[in-house]
Amino acid sequence: MNLTQQGLALIRRFEGFRACAYRDAAGIWTIGFGHTSAAGAPHVRPGMKISRKEGLQILARDVASFALGVERLLDVELSDSQFSALVSFAYNVGLGNFRKSSVLGAVNARDFAAVPRRLSLWVKCRGCVLPGLVNRRAAEAAMFLSEVQPRANQPMRPAREPIEPLLGKPMRKSSTGIAAMLSGAAGLASSFSASLGELTHVASTPVFPILAGLIILAAVFWIIRERHLKALEDGV
């Protein structure tokens, strides 16, 4: 597996060249084609300047190191285009983030069709979506899929899947709907308890408030559980 010229060009295009040291969107000192001190020599310091030729030499060393790091983390053999897309992604987010990403998980599971969606999760910096990252992930996804062939026993998907009507999920599968029903039940229990107290002119029995509280707690825990499972499914 080798980094292609197209892959190198993609990295150069999205990183851009800066002759003077600057802080990137994450506040890290950067120079040249996205070089940081974490990638190795030279150490980037404020006021540092390099020529474009020096930047290209630094980039060549950096991508060679990242390509080696990506290759060591792969459990499958990929085409050069697939490999190049992953090197570009790792060069941008760092090998540490690449190692724990669901992008690598999908690749090693041979779930290549899921890779574009996994890549699209990595478009934020400090909680904000950056258009440059959106465009880069789209380019990396296109490069990754450029040589992907459908499995022999798997029918090819249509070029464009039909848009499903916005009907919503069935109530039994909707965490919000279930929580609403539980909360409604809690409200009915509380109302019934209050009404009972008024009719009998005595303090209402504590059974119903306790039951209402338990129902509300069940609703809260249900929502937390559903959100946790969703986060695991769409992990980054």
Are residues 114 and 198 located together in one domain of the fold? Answer: no
Whole-number pLDDT of residue 159: 36
In a domain, 108, yes or no: yes
Are residues 134 and 200 located together in one domain of the fold? Answer: no
**Which of 145, 163, 187 delimits the end of a domain?**
145
Are residues 55 and 131 located together in one domain of the fold? Answer: yes
Pick the catalytic residue: 15, 140, 161, 164?
A: 15
How many CB atoms are closer than 10 A to CB 86?
30
In a domain, 66, yes or no: yes
Evaluate whether 182 touches 218 at the Cβ level (below 8 Å).
Answer: yes
Domain count, the chain: 2
In a domain, 56, yes or no: yes
Are residues 121 and 17 located together in one domain of the fold? Answer: yes
Are residues 61 and 109 located together in one domain of the fold? Answer: yes
Whole-number pLDDT of residue 220: 61
Whole-number pLDDT of residue 216: 72
Residue 111, domain extent: 5-145
Whole-number pLDDT of residue 203: 47
Whole-number pLDDT of residue 25: 83
Are residues 95 and 186 located together in one domain of the fold? Answer: no
Are residues 84 and 137 located together in one domain of the fold? Answer: yes
Residue 15 annotated among the catalytic residues of the structure: yes
Whole-number pLDDT of residue 119: 97
**Comparing C-alpha atoms, which of 14, 21, 63 is closest to residue 43?**
21
Are residues 223 and 107 located together in one domain of the fold? Answer: no
Are residues 115 and 183 located together in one domain of the fold? Answer: no
For residue 112, give every residue at least 6 positions away whose Cβ sits within 8 Å of its Cβ, in sequence order, or none.
82, 106, 144, 145, 148
Q: Please state at what angle helix 207-233 crosses helix 175-200, rounded to 10 degrees.
A: 170
Are residues 213 and 138 located together in one domain of the fold? Answer: no
Whole-number pLDDT of residue 162: 34
Q: Which residues of the chain are modeled with pLDDT < 70?
A: 148-213, 219-236
Are residues 54 and 139 located together in one domain of the fold? Answer: yes
Whole-number pLDDT of residue 202: 45
User: What CATH number corresponds to the domain at position 130?
Assistant: 1.10.530.40
Are residues 130 and 187 located together in one domain of the fold? Answer: no
Alpha carbons 51 and 57: distance in angstroms, whole number: 10
In a domain, 166, yes or no: no
In a domain, 225, yes or no: yes
In a domain, 165, yes or no: no
In a domain, 150, yes or no: no
In a domain, 207, yes or no: yes
